[in-house]
Structure 1
Amino acid sequence: MGEEHKPKQISGELHLLMFPFFAFGHISPFVQLSNKLSSHGVKISFFSAAGNVSRIKSMLGSTSAVQVIPLTLPPVEGLPPGLESTADLSPAQSELLKVALDRMQPQIKTALSQLNPHFVVFDFAQEWLPQMAAELGIKTAFYSVFVALSTAYATSPARVPATGKYPTLDELRKPPPGFPKTSITWVKTFEAKDFLYLFKSFHGGATVYDRVVAGLTDCDVILAKTCTQMEGPYVEFVKQQFKKPVLLVGPGVPEPQPEPLDQKWAEFLDRFEPGSAIYCSFGSETFLTDSQIEELLLGLELTGLPFFVVLNFPKNVDVSKELQRVLPAGFLERVKNKAVVHTGWVQQQQILAHRGVGCYVFHAGFSSAIEAIVTDCQLVMLPIRGDQLLNAKLVSRDLKTGVEVDRRDEDGYFSRGDIKKAVETVMADVEEEPAVSIQRNQKKWKEFLQDDGVQKKFIEDLVKELRDLVDL
């Protein structure tokens, strides 16, 4: 780090350093928060691996005053040079990013001492940061980019008793001791199996559970991407578990996109009755198996409704060949006048906002759920892994503003009939239950999310609370 990175000392200016894990599912909420804080007069510096900097700058916007500082990843055996986010790596290689992060501590300490921010806002994989920052007189804020339900259910100290024994599969099917009484009282076996990942060590490093709990325990303050209106009981449980302030950032309503929808997609969707088309996407880093793709596509076909499906595949495969291989026989011919199957990036917000789209079948990413609620799309959730599994419970059981595709307990299998049934449940005539109550709830949450005064107050309160913590 050279002289150009030394901060200008402006009296009374709050300075935050953002340091997310090297995955865009984590980087994006840190960028979104940076944009909001920056517009409220907060000085923001942003750490990431050099390979991610140009994409981060494009997400921050051309007028942003946020200073992005590139970090150098040390060589790690098995981690290809130049590939510096999970988007470019296999799941096994992605685990090596944590090894790289752990080895970057001297570099981070030097950079921190030169920048000297009031707070480092850090992520789950840097559980060593609070002690390092404390030695430099810098406060730390753990930013949880997942819903509070995830922290409460899966990564609270209550999950592991004083003996230090990790939970069994059966124990993970039920909430931890002391968990609040809400509609989330159990999960299926296949979901509990997925949660076992949190308690596995890779490459001799700490487990995700131990990293998260250490970070939350040792930080000065917890920031959470949620609000009491949506998750009050879980926020209170997290406060009790970690015995420190939990400052709420709000649910993160996306800024409207100024660019119009690409003409070819607009023309395709314009052909259909308002609210009749299904949009289906699982994000850029969630992949379905061959059999899941087949059941999904045939289930969408069975609805008789027009649909636009985005299918993505892991890196290093020939996408066009993969698509040809996984499509059911004769499928494209049968649906050619009312369906699109696409791979790669699309303008998701603009598609959801198109008047022709009325239903969103997706992986239950919480940011995606918020995008859909504010555009009046009905939610059909098919979570695949991790926090998606709990997001779907929060939206369908607590917020009652969508449905989850029914799945087999043991292995999560779903059929084309399960897809058809879920879509028909939310797309039924408005006089029919449960569609009527789901749509009523959705309108309520849309009004809340689109109340600019409420959403702005989350950030104003956050800035005030952070300033108070450092006596500014």
Structure 2
Amino acid sequence: MTSIPKPKLHIAMFPYLALGHITPYINLAKELAKEGHQISFLLPKKTLGHFSAKNPYPHLLKFYPLNMPKVDGLPVGAETNSDIDITVSTNALDVAIDAMSVQVEALLYDLKPNIVFYDFALWIPNLAAKIGFKTVCYHVICASFLAMGTVPARHFPKERSLTIEELMETPKGYPSSTVVLRYQEARKLSLMVTNTFDIRLTSAMQGADAIGIRTCRELEGPMCDYIQTQFNKPVFLSGPFLPKTLHKLMETKWEEWLSKFNPKSFQELVLGFEMTGLPFFVALSKPKGANSIEEALPEGFAERVGDRGVVYGGWVEQTKILNHSSVGCFVSHCGFGSMWESLLSDTQIVLVPWLADQILNTRLLVEELEVAVEVERGEMGWVSKENLCKAIKFAMDEESEVGKVIKQNHANYKEILAGPKFMDNYVHNFIASLYGLL
């Protein structure tokens, strides 16, 4: 007897308005569209234009514009967290996202999707009850952060700040003491992690029919199990959607520069690159108050390093650079996307985290998986050029025991992640889980 094919899904997506959230959502949308499912993507007009121009499935992946409301504290024309100073506050952006609920509701009434994906728009489940769709709170940050970040909001009152003792408390059943010990550091370093943030994160997850996470069981299985137990609802893992091949060539000027150096000799550094004596490529935003990257360089820096180093203030093709034969070490803040890209590369990994989720990602790679080295910090979180240089040389020293261990562990995880059908299996299982909601 021939089984009747299931009808394709119609999924709407409304991610948090940050490029680090939108981009993985777009990648997931493309994976689902490739399997024949219809995706309706909701974004502010200007931001939507950037992503809709690179749409390989226009008949299935469709974009719907939203107007950005005027909100006190939100700069004119701002649509994502890249347009604001997140070290001051993200509250204005949160207010704007909440103010878009009426527009989103009207679109969802017309679109009538089967399922809606969101992460921090905690009012989406209320619309689900009115319109009639299922919800997946899909997160693109690590399960370690989700597991730890939701604990204070559920166990402590919101009308007061948490004490260090409360932050250091290990929740019952939590699978990692090392991550817990870093959570209070994450809150000290990042204004983005506050009681309000915790409550928003928790509420969004509590209201969903299921929780989705851009991760895999091989790296964060115990954390995912913990989240499922705490929220008493299914947790679907999509896999990280890592690039399988690099079809396009790297930009010519970077290809030519990198090719001058011996294989595995290149360094991408943030601070302390000059002290290593090795070739380096630094890609970063210009410091606040400077008109350009060049203006902010130390006096005499360009003359000293000559053509052995590049400091660049624009966007670069990070994945392609990491896979170039001359690149031997990747220094990163350890955002979730960069974490996956580093694991799929052959480079040694050195980490200088700053924001809360970066700190917990670092804890996962350094202490849980033992595939990376973290730069030591001084008082008040200061990173000196000496400590950065030391960490890079430590990771690159193939004769040291630590260098050997992290290199071998990294190779083992890369073999898993790049294995045949690894990503495809996650996608297919993820889709099967979505059908189970209906």
Query: What's the TM-score once normalised by structure 1's chain length?
Result: 0.86
Q: In structure 2, what is the equivalent of residue 129 of structure 1?
A: 124
Distance in 2 separating the partners of 1:184 and 1:94: 25
Q: Name the CA distance, whole Å, in 2 between partners of 1:169 and 1:193.
A: 10
Amino acid in structure 2 at the alignment position of 1:89 = I
Q: CA deviation at 1:185?
A: 4.8
Q: May I ask how many residue pairs the two structures share in their alignment?
A: 433
Contact 1:159 1:176 in 2 (8 A): no
Instruction: Give the deviation of 1:166 after TM superposition.
Output: 5.0
The structural deviation recorded for 1:101 is 1.7
Shift of 1:163: 8.8
**SS in structure 2 of the partner of residue 17 of structure 1:** strand
Distance (Å, rounded) in 2 between the aligned partners of 1:246 and 1:63: 30
The worse-fitting range, judged by mean Cα deviation, of 73-82 and 139-148 is 73-82
One-letter amino acid of the counterpart of residue 118, structure 1: N
Give the SS at the match of 2:93: helix
Aligned residue number for residue 294 of structure 2: 323
Q: If the length of structure 2 is used for normalisation, what is the TM-score?
A: 0.92
Question: Which residue does the alignment assign to 2:95?
Answer: 99
- The aligned residue for residue 52 of structure 2 is 57
- For residue 63 of structure 1, report the CA deviation from its aligned partner: 5.7
Match of 1:421 in 2: 390
> Conserved in 1, the CA contact under 8 Å of 2:15 and 2:118?
yes
Tell me the residue number matched to 1:235.
224
CA deviation profile, 1:397-443 (whole Å, cap 9, x unmatched): 111111110113x51112112111110111112x4211111111111
CA contact (8 A) 1:381 1:405 kept: yes
Distance in 1 between residues matched to 2:353 and 2:189, nearest whole Å: 11
Give, as a single letter, the amino acid of the residue that structure 2 aligns with 1:323: E
What is the rounded CA distance, in whole Å, between the counterparts of 2:207 and 2:152 in structure 1? 13
| d(CA) in 1 for partners of 2:367, 2:59 | 39
AA at the equivalent of 2:390: K
How far 1:74 sits from its partner (Å)?
A: 2.1
Deviations 1:30-54 (Å, cap 9, x if unpaired)?
Answer: 0111111111121111001111111
Partner of 2:267: 278
Give distance in 1, aligned partners of 2:183 and 2:275.
27
User: Cα distance 1:173–1:15, how it changes in 2: closer, same or farther (>3 A)?
Assistant: same
SS at match of 1:208: helix
Structure 2 partner of 1:440: 408
Superposition deviation, residue 82 in structure 1: 2.8
Aligned residue number for residue 345 of structure 1: 315
Write the distance in 2 (CA, Å) between the matches of 1:262 and 1:196.
36
Segment drifting more, 90-99 vs 113-122:
90-99
Structure 1 counterpart of 2:235, which letter? V
User: Does the 8 Å CA contact 1:160/1:167 hold for their aligned counterparts?
Assistant: no
Question: Which residue number corresponds to residue 27 of structure 2?
Answer: 32
Bigger Cα displacement from structure 2, 151-160 vs 33-42: 151-160
Q: 1:19 aligns with which of 14, 30, 33?
A: 14
**How many angstroms apart in 2 are the aligned matches of 1:379 and 1:231?**
19
Counterpart in 2 of 1:313? 286
Provide the aligned C-alpha RMSD in A.
2.3
Aligned to 2:327: 357
Partner of 2:275: 302
C-alpha separation in 1, matches of 2:185 and 2:298: 26
Secondary structure of the corresponding residue to residue 76 of structure 1: coil
Q: CA deviation at 1:95?
A: 2.7
Amino acid at match of 1:120: V
2:106 to 101, 105, 110: 110
Whole-Å separation in 2 of the counterparts to 1:162 and 1:335: 54
SS in 2 for 1:67: strand
Identity between Structure 1 and Structure 2 (%)? 36
What displacement does 1:466 show? 0.7
Instruction: Look up the match of 1:149.
Output: 144
- Measured in 2, the distance between the counterparts of 1:55 and 1:93 equals 25
| Alpha-carbon contact 1:157-1:213 (below 8 Å) kept | no
- Tell me how far 1:153 sits from its aligned partner: 1.5
Would the aligned equivalents of 2:334 and 2:352 in 1 still touch at CA under 8 Å?
yes
Of 186, 194, 197, which aligns to 1:191?
Answer: 186
Amino acid of the structure 2 residue aligned with 1:302 = M
What is the deviation of 1:272?
1.2
User: Which runs of 4 or more aligned residues in structure 1 lie more than 6 Å from their structure 2 counterparts after TM superposition?
Assistant: none
User: How big is the shift at 1:258?
Assistant: 2.3
- Is 1:263 aligned to residue 259 of structure 2? no
Cα offset, 1:58, TM superposition: 3.6
Instruction: Give the partner amino acid of 2:373.
Output: V
CA displacement at 1:334 relative to structure 2: 1.0
Q: Which moved more, 1:420-429 or 1:164-173?
A: 164-173
- Amino acid corresponding to residue 333 of structure 2 in structure 1: H
